[in-house]
Structure 1
Amino acid sequence: MHDDVASFPSPDVILPGLPAMVVGSRMALRSDGKGGQQSLSFEDAGRALLESPHLLCNLPLIARRLRLRQMPPRADLQAYDLLELFAFVRPARFTLPTLSGLAQSLSLPHSDHQIAIPNGGRLELDIALIAPIAQRLMADLGADTYRWNKSVGATALTLARAGWPWGPMILGALSRNKAANSGGQTGVAVWQNLAEWADGPPPPAPADHAVSADEAEQQLARIIQHNLGAGSEPRPQQVAYSRAISHAFHPPEAENAPNMTLAEAGTGTGKTLGYIAPASLWAQKNAGPVWISTYTKALQRQIDQELSRLYPDPKERNSRTVIRKGRENYACLLNIEDAARISFSGAATARDSVLMGLVLRWLAYSRDGDMIGGDFPSWLGGHFGQARLSALTDHRGECLYSACSHYRRCFIERAVRKSRRADLVIANHALVMTQAAARNGDPDLPRRLVFDEGHHVFDAADNAFCAHLSGAEGADLRRWLRGRETAHKGRARGLITRIEDLIGDDLLARNHLDAIIEAARALPGPGWLQRLSGAAPRGPYEQFLMHLRAQILRRSHDRHGPHGLECGTEDSPAELLAAGNLLARALEAMMLPMKALAARLLALLDEQAASLDSASRGRLDASARSISLRAEKLAAWSQMLLDLQKPADPAFVDWLALDRSEGQERDVGLYRHWLDPSKPFAKTVLEPAHGVLITSATLRDQQTAAEDGDWQRAEMRVGASHLVLPARRFSTASPFDYQKQTRVLIVNDLQKGDLGHLATAYRALFLAAQGGALGLFTAIARLRAVHDRIQPALESHGLPLYAQHIDPMDTGTLVDLFRAEEDACLLGTDAVRDGVDVPGHALRLIVFDRVPWPRPTRLHKARRAAFGGSLYDDMLTRLKLSQAFGRLVRRGDDRGLFILLDAQTPSRLLTAFPPGLEVARVGLAEAIRITTDFFPRHAAQKPDQVP
């Protein structure tokens, strides 16, 4: 295979002699590789890991538990991490990042029912899995039937030379693999072997055939019968839902007046298939796409899986559907090529080389190049640092388009083209709104839209239609215009690099470009944050930020605290206003040539129409759009600065903010949000559409007796109240019997603010349910304090505990772990609450630390004053409680408890829960007793007593 490398030892020789280690919450267990095992303290375990490489699983998690404080691990901490081996041997294949998850993915015995361990516990079971997992993966590599042979030998050799512990062993295993040793093996440049996409003529505009209610019902029946067999019938609520929403798939009745339907469907209705039925039928009848938009990536993945019921053939599903996300989610092949060249040059660290080797293995087999929520092993972010992975995507908008040597293989361009001809495009709210704002009137924009998770439309619009004049935003724009200006490794392609060959010797365009690059010196440069705190700003932007920061600190009550600070813009001092005027002029000096350059690029499209190829035309158009967008951002910033001297515009909320994390300053800036972001959403997204469905289980606040009032508030939050024609309304209750399946308790005897009492409640309730518990928190600090207090007790009872903001894993991976391990517990904040879909016994208890009142930010205070005062607060809080409760029961046989640890919960909030469901206020001891009795499977296992 490699004539220049000596033969490598067989893993059969090396593996049996390697020590192994697993780490719990209070101790570690080590196998010496000779059949002996010993329990170690954290201090001794850490010392052992630093002295010699061990077989283990998930080094970053172990390093955190041992308090080695190295995330990602130090270069001198070597280990044979089974997760890294799995990522190499089985690229683009899913596994949970635990020993039991690895064993399950490899079809190995992985539970105490399958492995006989006398008097063993969790650690004994885990350490017994390590050797079989390593042996199976090495055996895979040596088999002639091994499926992932592309560049495997070249990549393994490169990583072995970089010092990866697994490298020599992998090469030894590959020596038995005939296919890996064949002459057809290529080098590590796997991007060269990716399939190219083929372009075609633009598709014609879709037709306007309606989907009737009867047709929607028939399509739904076909989908269900195809999956469950003849005689299967949809649920009545699902049929009614599918029939009602067919209105959104009729031709529009007036200009700028889409057929809009608001559909509230209780959990268990089956709304996903309910809207897929008419949406897929409309796409087939009219040869046009329907875009299905979600708020979370978790639901995007879930809908993609659900589409297998509509298109059981994977090839058909791949041709008819596509997942769309922002460019920053996809692997950029040019960035990867650049990073690989640096990583394998000998100048990079061993960890950089290992990361690139694993990325290249994944790249060769990825379905769509999605690194965030796709088939990329997301837990690698905890191993190597999320920033390293981010650098491999186009997260700064630096794409060269057709000038890129990888343009024809680009995952992003492939997805864009697929979405033009697909039946169903699974997107997200942020992408839909951003594209609509950037390309209003473009024929590529969807005309049929389904917004699932519709209760998040207001928040998504708030994020899409705002302006932030901050240090980080300004520095990012400078980097986009001028490229990298320091000697730091890596690269950043400035505007000159991206368009110089397009403008050629066009003197007018070149003059505009030179003016832009020179004017961009006014933006914050490298080191701007340190210069602000040292009162040594450079240029008008940093000068303005220095005065802005000083005003925030003067007007704040807790200037030395760990959290971010805010203050208003009213009565700003003269020096801040003067600095704002100076910056506005500097931004205008940049904006004018940017607008002129964008116009010139579009003019070149017309002037050179006879000579331009299609790729160059596409680049000119894309470059003009991109430059125009950033010119519009500069115009918005300039207007914000000028408005500092005027009375406040009632349509907007402006404020100053200093962003801090654990006492460290991260950013500072002037912020502007719409008071009602549903207005620009309605104008930009809804009005151009022909049909829109906005659906959720919690669109309405079920507080008032007047149903019309509930709908009016829902319509206000999703923009329907700003349209010419009224939206149609539909609602159906959940088919679940919540009175029999659930209970809601409010614990009324905990001392507020006492973290010890709070931790006691979580520990005792989690043990009473014997796991399957989701702990929700309104503050990260309380989550961390409770986690540290309860983890040892839970682990001693065999209950795994995972936590957002603590474990070095992304939220999606944490939820996957929680779902897979029936008795696990998970702690999290809003992102976990919104992203959890765990049917079955794995989620049977939800404990909320406090009433989730809105944070009293300046933006919320302004909206509170405009939208009803305390009634607005109550509405938002009830919706959050309702959404959290909705996680508990996901199918007909689920049972669960919802417990709120806040004695001051007002009764007026309790309508957040299903009608007729009794809410009991009890003491903690009674809540523990009820929890124990509610789950008879665990009745014989009593939790420890509450102190």
Structure 2
Amino acid sequence: MLSAEELLGPNGPLPSLIDGHESRPDQLRMTQAVEEQLATGGILVVEAGTGVGKSLAYLLPAALWAKANERRVVISTNTIPLQDQLLKKDLPVVRNILKSAGLKDPIRYRQLVGRGNYLCEHRLHHAQAEVTRGDQLFDDEGRVLDDVERWNGRDDHEGRRQEIPFGVPPGTWERINADADNCLNRRCNYFDRCHFFNSRKRAGSADLLVVNHALLLADRVVRSGGDEAEGVLPDWDVAVLDEGHHLQDCATRAFTVEVSRRSLNRHLDRLANPRFRDRGELATLEIALGQITGTKETVAEKIADRLHEELPIWVDSVRDAADGLWDRLIDSFGEGGDARQVWIDEHAASSDSWQSCNRELLGLKTSLQQLVYHLDQVLGRIEAEALHENDDAVRHGALGLQARRRRLKDATESLEALENGEDWGCTWVNIGRRPQNRKWSRDVGLHRAPIEVREMLESFLYRGPHALVMTSATLTTGPQDFRLLVHQTGLDLHEPDPRLLSFGSPFNHSEQALLATLPQQPDPRQNRGVDFEEASNEAIDTLVRASDGGALVLFTSWRQMRGSFDHLAPGLFAQGFEVFVQGQRGLGRTELLNRFRQRRRAVLFGTDSFWEGVDVRGEALRLVILTRLPFRPPTEPITRARHLRIEKEGGRPFFSLTLPEAILKLRQGYGRLLRHREDHGAVVILDPRIESLGYGRRFLRALPPARRLKGNLATVSRAVALATGVPH
């Protein structure tokens, strides 16, 4: 068998499989590096610019290694679009390459998502039965369940929520997903066709397993419990993390604890409906116990009485304690009617207001502990009397109660973490916008996240696997400058030192792309940004007309994006342009991008997530407008906590964190333009600080060597017309 490098080389089978394929030197270098790392073990970090062909450069060596060693490789991504690309485009190419090279046993690959994403038929049918007898759900939820059952009868899916072609409310999905706490395993009547276990079975025979970062991290945390701990994923030995620049944020979310009014009320309402006492999981189990006859009837009746009379009192006790905490938090930190986040720093933590909130928090924790204790007593008695063994209704009801007990126990542990407040974490209060309808309560919650995840990643992720490859199109903040990534993700803690490689984009940026700036724009920091936003609207309108559409306009705030869209869309529509905006009603991200691709004179307004992962080739995208330099909002509690940590260590947060993160984001935004060697167009940056302030040079140095132009709007718009091929 040839090496992966030889298979991708000029004498390999790719030219016969892909029309117009040309061998790419940096792709071959990356392929060789991945092959070497898989052979020797350890960590490899590779930045591979757009056009290098990094997917094949790691997939082919991974497939060959998996086959040769009969061991599994996990491919982890941050986004679903990249998973779709790997599964529908790149992995079929890898399979064909290996087939043409004489591999008799075809490469097997599967996608696996968390079990909460799979439908459970057992729980679906119980939920429908509860609708029929009026115990649990309302009529509209019953209709959704019927739609889900009809969809489940089709054979063109694997039971994942993402495959359902209509919306399922979160509360309804929670009742019918393959939750671990509700699982009967092999005792279930539907086990042989269980979507989750069948997916695990298929994954168990896969050579390559495609997952997301959150699932990969969950697997590593579970396995850290000891050699006997069964992971979330089937056993694996090598991991490839694409979109590796998201690893810090994914790990931060994975280790964040939170308790909110909305989430706690959802659990309590499912346990005991506050408006209808005959609905809820307590009532469901009570009804099931009431059907028992014979020698166990008296015992079952006593437990049912306790569920009816005693447990609702403890549920109400938790509700009262929770309302006390939420009201205290809003009184202390909910100034005004807008949504806000309040960081509980050292000063706030010592205030009388927070101490008062802490006392309410302790009261809620105590009430939850008491409720969990009484649930344990009921469940323990059912177990001791074996009431669930031959009664499916009791078994289902007990499992539902056990699952809710687990969620309430988790909430108790989260409150304990929030109460302790060690200095490794950042605590903040999240308060929602005041609702216009006074009948609705204002949402409020408490959150605690690790300030750093360096040691967690070293402990849970880097130790153990034979080899790990981390890659992305944007990992550096300057030529070969991996310092930000290495520090944030704890790669500098690992021994031996990771191998770091960077390959730039092979595109001819000086020929294919124009990079223009407008230094005469108003400074966005002055006059609360009003003058800048007005000038930006004029610039966007002028530039879109100059390129005749095909424009992606990227913002750093939802408010400015919506304001610009509302201001500009009517005029653009009148000129025959089709205008789309992120969050447009009825259009998800994928459908939005598909419609944009299909129209030459379209304009798409987007924020945050649209700065990356947007792959639109050809004439459909020929102009990218970056409205502001993408600095992370300094008001985010976790950002402020990280800044304070840097200051205490003698550093300067702006230059060591804020600026490098913004440079990475700007590089991602620029990268939306050229996706193929025949693409061409312009990138225009409206923020004048890139020219007027000293740090602007660092942004410009980090961008590819496109043709540069600095001028007024008239000059730039004429250049944009030429760069995008619009005759004038």
Equivalence for 1:454: 244
Displacement of 1:903:
1.7
Equivalence for 1:583: 364
Residue 359 of structure 2 aligns to which amino acid in structure 1?
A: A
Q: Tell me, yes or no, if structure 1 residue 681 matches structure 2 residue 457.
A: yes
Cα distance change on mapping 1:853 and 1:233 into 2, 3 Å: closer
Displacement of 1:279:
1.2
Structure 1: tracts of 5 or more residues without a match: 1-211, 253-258, 526-536, 941-947
Counterpart-to-counterpart distance in 1, 2:241 and 2:368: 37
Equivalence for 2:75: 292
Residue 902 of structure 1 aligns to which amino acid in structure 2?
A: D
Could you tell me whether the CA contact under 8 Å between 1:524 and 1:541 is conserved in 2? no
Between stretches 423-432 and 318-327, larger displacement belongs to 318-327
1:914 to 696, 703, 707: 703
CA deviations on 1:534-578 (whole Å, 9 max, x unpaired) are xxx94323222221222113xx5xx23x33242424223243232
Displacement of 1:395:
8.6
Counterpart-to-counterpart distance in 1, 2:246 and 2:575: 38
Could you tell me whether the CA contact under 8 Å between 2:241 and 2:469 is conserved in 1? yes
Counterpart-to-counterpart distance in 1, 2:462 and 2:399: 25
Normalised by the length of structure 2, the TM-score is: 0.79
Equivalence for 2:567: 789
Displacement of 1:451:
0.8
Displacement of 1:405:
4.2
Structure of greater relative contact order (alpha carbons < 8 Å, 6+ residues apart): 2
2:447 to 671, 685, 693: 671
- Partner SS for 1:744: strand
Displacement of 1:869:
0.8
Equivalence for 1:904: 689
2:514 to 734, 740, 743: 743
Counterpart-to-counterpart distance in 1, 2:379 and 2:106: 37
Could you tell me whether the CA contact under 8 Å between 1:245 and 1:275 is conserved in 2? yes
Displacement of 1:733:
1.4
Equivalence for 1:264: 47
| 1:610-759 mapped onto 2 (5 Å cutoff) | 631=409, 634-641=412-419, 643=420, 649-660=422-433, 667-702=443-478, 707=480, 710-751=481-522, 752-754=529-531, 755-759=533-537
| 1:142-181 mapped onto 2 (5 Å cutoff) | none
Displacement of 1:810:
1.2
Residue 744 of structure 1 aligns to which amino acid in structure 2?
A: L
Displacement of 1:791:
2.1
| 1:207-246 mapped onto 2 (5 Å cutoff) | 215-220=3-8, 224=14, 227-228=17-18, 234-246=23-35
Cα distance change on mapping 1:764 and 1:635 into 2, 3 Å: same
Counterpart-to-counterpart distance in 2, 1:786 and 1:836: 21
2:638 to 859, 865, 878: 859
Counterpart-to-counterpart distance in 2, 1:625 and 1:448: 33
Equivalence for 2:292: none
Displacement of 1:477:
4.2
Counterpart-to-counterpart distance in 2, 1:521 and 1:317: 62
Residue 660 of structure 1 aligns to which amino acid in structure 2?
A: R
CA deviations on 1:747-775 (whole Å, 9 max, x unpaired) are 23344424443322222211211121111
Counterpart-to-counterpart distance in 2, 1:772 and 1:674: 41
Cα distance change on mapping 1:417 and 1:351 into 2, 3 Å: closer
Equivalence for 2:196: 412
- Partner SS for 2:632: coil
Could you tell me whether the CA contact under 8 Å between 1:549 and 1:668 is conserved in 2? yes
Could you tell me whether the CA contact under 8 Å between 1:772 and 1:841 is conserved in 2? yes
| 1:922-933 mapped onto 2 (5 Å cutoff) | 922-933=711-722
Residue 366 of structure 2 aligns to which amino acid in structure 1?
A: R
Equivalence for 2:332: 551
Counterpart-to-counterpart distance in 1, 2:381 and 2:53: 52
Counterpart-to-counterpart distance in 1, 2:378 and 2:138: 39
Could you tell me whether the CA contact under 8 Å between 1:461 and 1:678 is conserved in 2? no
Counterpart-to-counterpart distance in 2, 1:666 and 1:636: 21
Displacement of 1:262:
0.8
Q: What is the CA RMSD across the aligned residues, in angstroms?
A: 4.7
Could you tell me whether the CA contact under 8 Å between 1:799 and 1:824 is conserved in 2? yes
Displacement of 1:926:
1.9
Cα distance change on mapping 1:803 and 1:344 into 2, 3 Å: farther
Equivalence for 1:874: 659
- Partner SS for 2:30: helix
Cα distance change on mapping 1:400 and 1:625 into 2, 3 Å: closer
Equivalence for 2:677: 892
Displacement of 1:839:
1.9
Between stretches 285-294 and 730-739, larger displacement belongs to 285-294
Cα distance change on mapping 1:490 and 1:411 into 2, 3 Å: farther
Displacement of 1:912:
6.2
Displacement of 1:387:
5.4
Counterpart-to-counterpart distance in 1, 2:38 and 2:279: 49
1:321 to 109, 118, 123: 109
Could you tell me whether the CA contact under 8 Å between 1:597 and 1:624 is conserved in 2? no
- Partner SS for 1:835: coil
Cα distance change on mapping 1:285 and 1:742 into 2, 3 Å: same
Counterpart-to-counterpart distance in 1, 2:218 and 2:85: 23
Displacement of 1:652:
1.1
| 1:397-546 mapped onto 2 (5 Å cutoff) | 399-402=182-185, 404-440=188-224, 441-442=229-230, 444-478=234-268, 482=271, 486-487=275-276, 538-546=319-327
1:839 to 610, 617, 620: 617
Could you tell me whether the CA contact under 8 Å between 1:656 and 1:670 is conserved in 2? yes
Could you tell me whether the CA contact under 8 Å between 1:522 and 1:540 is conserved in 2? no
Counterpart-to-counterpart distance in 2, 1:676 and 1:881: 24
Could you tell me whether the CA contact under 8 Å between 2:514 and 2:723 is conserved in 1? no
| 1:76-95 mapped onto 2 (5 Å cutoff) | none
CA deviations on 1:215-273 (whole Å, 9 max, x unpaired) are 332454566356238x9764111111011122442365xxxxxx111111111110101
Could you tell me whether the CA contact under 8 Å between 1:522 and 1:539 is conserved in 2? no
Counterpart-to-counterpart distance in 1, 2:312 and 2:703: 56
Between stretches 859-868 and 396-405, larger displacement belongs to 396-405
- Partner SS for 2:629: coil
Q: Tell me, yes or no, if structure 1 residue 811 matches structure 2 residue 596.
A: no
Cα distance change on mapping 1:935 and 1:600 into 2, 3 Å: farther
Could you tell me whether the CA contact under 8 Å between 1:747 and 1:900 is conserved in 2? yes
- Partner SS for 1:753: helix
Cα distance change on mapping 1:363 and 1:400 into 2, 3 Å: same
Counterpart-to-counterpart distance in 2, 1:446 and 1:627: 32
Residue 878 of structure 1 aligns to which amino acid in structure 2?
A: I
Counterpart-to-counterpart distance in 2, 1:438 and 1:521: 36
Q: Percent identity?
A: 23
Could you tell me whether the CA contact under 8 Å between 2:78 and 2:246 is conserved in 1? yes
Could you tell me whether the CA contact under 8 Å between 1:773 and 1:846 is conserved in 2? yes
Displacement of 1:337:
4.6
Could you tell me whether the CA contact under 8 Å between 1:739 and 1:916 is conserved in 2? yes
Q: Tell me, yes or no, if structure 1 residue 369 matches structure 2 residue 159.
A: yes
Normalised by the length of structure 1, the TM-score is: 0.62
Displacement of 1:799:
2.2
- Partner SS for 2:689: coil
Displacement of 1:490:
9.6
Q: Tell me which protein shows more helix as a share of its residues.
A: 2
Counterpart-to-counterpart distance in 1, 2:212 and 2:467: 17
Equivalence for 1:76: none
Between stretches 865-874 and 434-443, larger displacement belongs to 434-443
Displacement of 1:885:
1.0
Counterpart-to-counterpart distance in 2, 1:340 and 1:319: 41
1:308 to 92, 104, 114: 92
Could you tell me whether the CA contact under 8 Å between 2:127 and 2:176 is conserved in 1? no
